[in-house]
């Protein structure tokens, strides 16, 4: 089973090291010391907590969508020309970039500071692991 250091667990969940330690102290996560004496949490348990903690954002959009990956965020940058536009959003710790028509940007009223939702529906998702864990069972 994968073991994840407190610092790395915090970074993966977008919380502070102290939050992960409070979860351990409160019994939400269990931890043990690894062979180097560092506190680690079980990767499978951390993944289950990540799923449990995830909340589908409440939208006031009043629409339905087949996209399951919807990220609320703030528009941070809009670059347009006569035909196309690039819209950058900050969705939590993630930057999402969308290319769309300039007409769509105008119709949606997108500008820096606008609240919007990035809906992602991809046919290909690339999964990578750290080089040190590649091939480990």
Least confident of 32-36, 86-90, 126-130: 126-130
pLDDT-derived band at 61 (thresholds 50, 70, 90) equals low
Query: What is the chain's mean pLDDT, rounded?
Result: 83
Q: For residues 7 and 3, what is the distance between their CA atoms, to the nearest angstrom? A: 12
| Contact (Cβ atoms closer than 8 angstroms) between residue 72 and residue 89 | no
pLDDT of residue 124: 79
DSSP 57-85: PP-SS----S-SEEEEEEEEEEEE-SSEE
Residue with tokens 């990767």: 43
Residue 134 has pLDDT above 90, yes or no: no
The residues pairing with 80 across neighbouring beta strands, listed in sequence order, are 85
For 91-100, the pLDDT digits (tens) are: 877 888 999 9
pLDDT of residue 133: 55
Domain with CATH 1.10.1660.10 in the chain: 3-55
Nearest to 105 by CA among 74, 84, 76, 120: 84
In CATH terms, the fold of domain 69-120 is OB fold (Dihydrolipoamide Acetyltransferase, E2P) (2.40.50)
| Contact (Cβ atoms closer than 8 angstroms) between residue 95 and residue 88 | yes
Q: What average pLDDT does this structure show over 30-39?
A: 92
Query: How many CB atoms are located within 10 Å of the residue 108 CB?
Result: 13
CATH number of this structure's domain 3-55: 1.10.1660.10
Two tokens, residue 29: 């996560």
Domain with CATH 2.40.50.100 in the chain: 69-120
């Amino acid at each position: 089973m994968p073991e994840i250091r407190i610092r790395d667990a915090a970074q993966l969940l977008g919380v502070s090291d102290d939050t992960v330690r409070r979860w351990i102290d409160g019994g939400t996560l269990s931890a043990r010391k690894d062979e180097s004496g560092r506190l680690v949490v079980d990767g499978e348990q951390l993944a289950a907590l990540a799923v449990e903690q995830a909340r589908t954002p409440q939208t006031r959009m009043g629409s339905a969508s087949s996209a399951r990956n919807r990220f609320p965020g703030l528009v941070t940058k809009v670059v347009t020309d006569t035909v196309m536009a690039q819209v950058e959003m900050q969705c939590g710790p993630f930057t999402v970039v969308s290319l769309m028509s300039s007409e769509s940007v105008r119709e949606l009223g997108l500008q820096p500071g606008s609240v919007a939702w990035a809906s992602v529906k991809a046919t290909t998702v690339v999964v990578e692991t750290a080089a040190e864990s590649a091939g480990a069972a």
